[in-house]
Amino acid sequence: MADDKPRAVNPKDETKPDLEITDQAPPQSLDEGWRALERGDSKSARALAERTMAETPNSPEALLLEAACLRDDGDNEQAITVLRRVCKLDSEWCTPELWLAELLAASPDTTAEALGHAGHALDLADEEDEYLNALALKAGLEAELGEVDEAKETLRDLPPPEVSLDDPLLALEIAELWLAVGEPEAARDRLRTLTKSEPEMADAWYTLGVAAEVLEDDAGMRAAWKRAWQLDAASGDDDAVARLEESEVLAIVEQALGELPEKARRLLVDVPIILADLPAEADVEAGLDPRMLGLFNGTPYPETSNVGGQPGLTQIVLFRRNLERAAASEEDLREEIRTTLLHETGHFFGMDEAELEGVGLD
């Protein structure tokens, strides 16, 4: 999906004819409002939008600025209401249609409606960035609704994969969409172009490794994942949204273990739980996913109880920086740690991935 952060610039096409329902909005106040929003001052931007609307109540431009402020403040429900009004006032403007589609896409109940607005935005787009964002959003919604053939057809309207797109994040999103619709070769082609133009983009290298894995290209997978690991290791903690002290992580681990039955806790007493930053480079070179969240090493308990084993080699590892990268907030990070730990203890007790998914620990 396209990034749901409001574009903090005035997106109005100045060549568009004035609406009959209102005079042209005073550009100075609106321009000041967009600049304020770009600085992160949504309060001032909202005041400037309201000032314009007091003079021209049906100004789509002023209403769009208000919607952008609402999005920036996290009030998506009210932003949707305002954007519906903008779309009604000016049915030929791509930007509000695209924003409305993005917000509606966040809820499963309005996915189909979002698709309609994404399609309309695509028809209206006359700027390359809006066209590509609308196209990616439409394809993603089609895939989400199970309309895989339609999503593939939408994606085929993209420039050829050897053409480098101006927006690297959008190029990555498009590659991920190709993977989602079962076209790993198309994803790999797009990602090869992206890693050539953005050689320091770790996410692109990682996804290239995923595409290679699907294509059973073991050498390509290892090479791409090793490069992703190198870039992740060099980035430090810069890519973390939330971080916790080691003592806090261990407290979450203890709390998660407390959810298990007493017998399970007794069996886990001698299994060390290790906190590491990232998987070891040698393990990644051997084919281990460099962004895995956790790992169970050793012999599962059901096998050791039957044939004996080497308890000293059994351990559970949590990869702190990968967990931090996967989390969108501190609350999310805490839940990721809990779920990952319980997932790996499931492997200790002999559960496979399908069984873990069945109990909500995928």
CA–CA gap between residue 178 and residue 174 (Å, rounded)? 6
CA–CA gap between residue 330 and residue 353 (Å, rounded)? 26
Would the pLDDT of 1 be above 50? Answer: no
Report the pLDDT averaged over residues 331-357: 83
- Residue 180 contacts residue 147 (beta carbons within 8 Å): no
Would the pLDDT of 332 be above 50? Answer: yes
CA–CA gap between residue 335 and residue 341 (Å, rounded)? 10
Q: What is the pLDDT of residues 157-199, one digit of tens each?
A: 999 999 999 999 999 999 999 999 999 999 999 999 999 999 9
Q: Where are the domains of the chain?
A: 27-122, 168-234, 246-358
Looking at 1.20.1250.20, 1.25.40.10, 3.10.129.10, 3.90.226.10, the CATH number of the domain 168-234 comes to 1.25.40.10
Q: What is the pLDDT of residues 108-129, one digit of tens each?
A: 999 999 999 999 999 999 999 9
Least confident of 141-145, 326-330, 350-354: 350-354
Six token digits for residue 28: 């100075």
Q: What is the residue-averaged pLDDT of the chain?
A: 87
Question: Identical fold at 168-234 and 246-358?
Answer: no
Q: Per CATH, is 27-122 categorized as 3.40.50.720?
A: no
The pTM is what?
0.83
Fold for 246-358, please state it.
Answer: Zincin-like (3.30.2010)
| Contacts (Cβ under 8 Å, ≥6 apart) of 155 | 135, 139, 174, 177, 178, 181, 183, 186
